[in-house]
Structure 1
Amino acid sequence: MLLAHPVLTGAVALLAVNDQVLKPAYGTWWTGKLSDVAGVVLVTWVLAVVTGYAGRSALMVALAFVALKVVPGVAEAAAPILGGVTLRDPTDLVALVALGPVVVYLQRVSIRPPRALRATRPAVRASRSRVARVVVAGVTCGLAALAVGATSCAEQQEVSNVRVDGGSVWAQVGSTDGDLDHQVSSAVHNSTAGSASSTLAVRPRWARSIDGGRTWTSANGEPSTSSDAGRSACSDALGCFRLVGRDRVEHRDPTSSAWSTAFAFTREQKRRLKARDHGVCSGQSVQIDLRTLLIVPRPDGEHVVVAAGSEGALERTPSGEWHRRAVLGCRPTSLTGPSQLIYLQAAPFALAVLSLVPLVIGIMRRQPWRGAGGLAIALGGAFTTGILLAIFTFLQIDYLGSGPALAVICAVIFLISLWVARGPKSPRGPEFRDA
C-alpha cells in the first residue's frame, strides 16, 4: 500500500520535525527549503495515489508550486488556506528537483508482481500484512494532515503602544518578536553582487478608536502626534494610574497619597488563561502583558486605556468599570468555565493505562483471545484519541469542549473493550493424571 510507504512516512516526518523543531531553533534559509521539498514530495505522492497517474500528478504539483512562488497574488490568496505568511520566492523552486526521483520511484513500486507469485503467499500472512498496512496508512494520513496544517504559523499580533490624537485613541499593533512594524506578505527581491536576497516590506499598522477605547477599527494613516504613552498617567479628576509589573493596575485618588489595586487578574482567571495557553506556533502563547496606559478625555468623562499585548486593550469607563477590548486580531482570551476541566484532556493517557483491564478480565475468564481483543481496542482508541487531542490543540479548540469530548469518547471505547473481553466463561477442561 503506497500510503504506508516509507517515502511518504519519511516526508511526513521530515516536514513535522523541520517545522516544529528546526525552524523555531534555527529559522534560516535551509529550513524553508526543507519544508518545500518535503511538502512537494508529500502532495505529489498522495495525489498520485488518488488519481493513479504519477507523471500527471507531478506536473500539476509543479505548476501549482510555480504559481505559488512566482505569480503575483497567488501566494496572498493561498495564505488563509496554507496558514501564516506565504512569500513569493523563486529560489524555492529548487524543491521541484525532487519530483523526478519521486515519479520514477512511483512508477517502479506500483508494478504488481505476477499473479503466480502473489498466489504463493500464505493467506493468513497476507491478511495480517494488509491489516498492518491499512493501520500504518491511516496513521500516516492523520499525521500528514497535522504536519501540513502546522507547517506555517502566522505571527501572533499584540498591541504594543497607545497614543492620543485629538479625541481619538490610536493603538499600534505588532508581532510577538517585539518588532513594532507589521510584516506584510509581499516579498521585495533585491539583487546585489550577482546574488539574490529577499526581505519583507514593512509598514506601521495602526488601529483607531473614537469612543474612548471601546471599539477599534483599522486605520489607514498614522496619528499626527509622536508622543507615546508611558507606564503611568494622571489627571485632576481621576488622580493617577500606574502599571505594576505586567498584570496589575494601581490607582491613587486625587485626595490621597496611598496606592490601591484598580485592576488585576484573580488566581482562577490566571489558571483559565494558562489552561487556554496552546502555544503551538514557535512558543507563542497567551500572556498577561500590560505595557502602557493613558487617560483619554471624552464628552462622557475620562477613559483609561491600557495596551495589553496579545490580549488587545484594557479600558476603564468613566463609571469605573474595567473591560478587555479586542483590537483588530488581538482578541481577549475567554475567562469562562472551570479550569479543572483541562485535566479531562488526559483521558487518552488514562485509557492507555486502563487497557490492561480487559486483558486481565479475558485471562481470568479463560479466554485470553477476548482479552487480547479488548486490549487492542483500548490501545487503538488511546492512540486515536491522542491524535484527536493533538488536532484539538493545533486548532485551538477550547478545553471546555475538547476535554469533555475526549473523556466521553475514551469512556465509550473502554466500555467496548470490556464488552469484548467479557464472554461466556469457558468450562474447566479435564484434568490429566498419570496412569
Structure 2
Amino acid sequence: MSRPTTAGRRVPGELVLHPVPLVALAVLLLNDHVLKAAAPGWVTGKLSDVAGLAFFPFLLLAARDVVTRRAPTVAAAQVAAALTALVFAAVKLSAAARDVYVDVVGALRFPVDALVGGVAAPVRVVVQPDATDVWTVLACAVVVLVVRRAVPGPSPRDLVGEQDVPLAVRPWCPQPSPATMRR
C-alpha cells in the first residue's frame, strides 16, 4: 500500500489506520466492554470473533511494515490472514494451543493490567473453546481484499503481450471498427 502522505512518503504501519481495521477495532471494543455486559449471548460472542479477526491481520501487516520498512503486499496480507486464522482455529479447537495462548496473552497484557488494574502478576485471559467459532476466520480475508485494492498490480497487458490475446478476450482494449479493419 503505497499511498503518498502530504510529504510524498509512505508512513510505515499506516495500513492499521485504514477505515476497515479502525471500524473493526471500535466494534470489538464496544462489543467487549458494553454490548456483552448488556446482552450476553451468541451474537455478541460471534461479533467479538469477527471484529477481532478482521482487525488482527491488519495489525500484523502494519507491524511487519514498521519492522521491515517494506510496504504491504498481497502475499504478505495472505500470510497475515492465514496465520491469524490458523492460530484462532488452533486456540478454539486445541486445549494445548489454548493453554499457550492464554499464558502468552496474559503476559503481553501484564504491563497495562498492572498500571490500570494494579495486578501484581499476569492474569490468564479467558477463552471459550467453541468449534462453531471457526467459521468466523472468514473475516481474516478482509485484509487481503483491502491490500489487493490498494496495491497497484500489473495490468493484464503486462502479464501477456497484447498481440498474443484474441480480441474477444481483450475487453480492456478498444475493439476495432469495421472502417479501421479494412486498412
Q: 1:78 pairs with 101, 113, 118, which one?
A: 101
In structure 2, what is the equivalent of residue 121 of structure 1?
none
Asked if structure 2 preserves the Cα contact closer than 8 Å seen for 1:70 and 1:88, the reply is yes
Post-superposition offset of 1:50 = 2.9
- Of the two structures, which has the highest relative contact order with CA contacts closer than 8 Å and spacing of 6 or more? 2
The CA distance in 2 between the partners of 1:91 and 1:75, in whole Å, is: 16
TM-score with structure 2 setting the length: 0.56
Give, as a single letter, the amino acid of the residue that structure 2 aligns with 1:14: V
The CA distance in 1 between the partners of 2:125 and 2:88, in whole Å, is: 17
| Seq. identity, % | 35
In structure 1, what is the equivalent of residue 81 of structure 2?
58
Q: 1:105 pairs with 146, 149, 163, which one?
A: 146
Are 2:22 and 1:22 aligned? no
In structure 1, what is the equivalent of residue 120 of structure 2?
none
Q: Tell me the secondary structure at the aligned position of residue 152 of structure 2.
A: coil
In structure 2, what is the equivalent of residue 11 of structure 1?
24
In structure 1, what is the equivalent of residue 167 of structure 2?
none
Which blocks of at least 5 consecutive residues in structure 1 are unaligned? 113-435
Asked if structure 1 preserves the Cα contact closer than 8 Å seen for 2:49 and 2:133, the reply is yes
TM-score with structure 1 setting the length: 0.25
Q: Tell me the secondary structure at the aligned position of residue 95 of structure 2.
A: coil
The CA distance in 2 between the partners of 1:99 and 1:78, in whole Å, is: 19
Report matched runs for 1:258-407 at 5 Å. Answer: none
The CA distance in 2 between the partners of 1:111 and 1:33, in whole Å, is: 34
Greater per-residue helix proportion: 2
The one-character-per-residue Cα deviations of 1:385-416 (angstroms, maximum 9, x if unpaired) are xxxxxxxxxxxxxxxxxxxxxxxxxxxxxxxx
Report matched runs for 1:199-210 at 5 Å. Answer: none
Asked if structure 2 preserves the Cα contact closer than 8 Å seen for 1:48 and 1:54, the reply is yes
The CA distance in 2 between the partners of 1:19 and 1:69, in whole Å, is: 18
Instruction: Name segments (4+ residues, structure 1) moved above 4 Å.
Output: none
Post-superposition offset of 1:108 = 1.2
In structure 2, what is the equivalent of residue 239 of structure 1?
none
Post-superposition offset of 1:72 = 2.2
Give, as a single letter, the amino acid of the residue that structure 1 aligns with 2:127: T
Post-superposition offset of 1:84 = 3.0
Post-superposition offset of 1:87 = 2.1
Asked if structure 1 preserves the Cα contact closer than 8 Å seen for 2:54 and 2:142, the reply is no
- The structure having more radius of gyration, on CA atoms, is 1
The CA distance in 2 between the partners of 1:77 and 1:106, in whole Å, is: 31
The CA distance in 1 between the partners of 2:35 and 2:16, in whole Å, is: 26
In structure 1, what is the equivalent of residue 133 of structure 2?
92
Post-superposition offset of 1:97 = 1.4
Change (3 A) 1:107 1:50: farther
CA RMSD of aligned residues (A): 1.8
Post-superposition offset of 1:49 = 2.5
In structure 2, what is the equivalent of residue 2 of structure 1?
15
Give, as a single letter, the amino acid of the residue that structure 1 aligns with 2:141: G
Are 2:35 and 1:33 aligned? no
Post-superposition offset of 1:61 = 0.8
- Figure out how many residues of one structure are paired with residues of the other and give that number: 112
Which blocks of at least 5 consecutive residues in structure 2 are unaligned? 1-13, 65-71, 107-123, 154-183
Q: Tell me the secondary structure at the aligned position of residue 36 of structure 1.
A: helix
Post-superposition offset of 1:7 = 0.7
Post-superposition offset of 1:46 = 1.4
